[in-house]
Amino acid sequence: MASLTTHAPSTNHHTIQATSQQDFATSGTSQDGSFDYVVVCDTHGKTRITSKYDLKLKELFENLDWKTVLQEEDFFEIIQNKIKNIDTHKIGSTISICKIYPDRFENYWAGDSSIKIYSEGVEVWKTN
């Protein structure tokens, strides 16, 4: 847990998969320093024409200014509106966002992913 609460600059990560490399994750501290965050996205789908993996959503997530956008009260709507501005035919994503405050966690998700919180290796909470 200590690694989640450090105040390091935002860092983007990706999971190297055998073929698609469509997953995205980032973590960091909000612009005002009031919370830390973890964002995980599992994008999926292929383009209509070439059947190659479509990375538009991953690229959108990689280019978002997460430390600023997550401070907005309507950040989930902001993200949805950005998604509406690109062609997502036959592609999609799950998204899980955890905002970590000194006194609480706030969790947001869409899709079939889940968020789990562990304490000393024991699961103490999970999303439906």
Q: Over the stretch 61-103, which tens digit does the pLDDT of each residue have?
A: 888 999 999 999 999 999 999 988 887 777 778 889 999 999 9
Tens-digit pLDDT profile for residues 30-65: 999 999 999 988 877 666 655 666 778 888 888 899
3-state secondary structure of 16: coil
State how far the Cα of 44 lies from the Cα of 113, in Å rounded to an integer: 13
Tens-digit pLDDT profile for residues 7-32: 344 555 545 555 566 788 899 999 99
pLDDT at 1: 34
Angle between helices 56-63 and 75-84 (to 10 degrees): 140
Reference 4, options 32, 39, 42, 31; nearest CA is 39
Give the predicted TM-score (pTM) of the model. Answer: 0.77
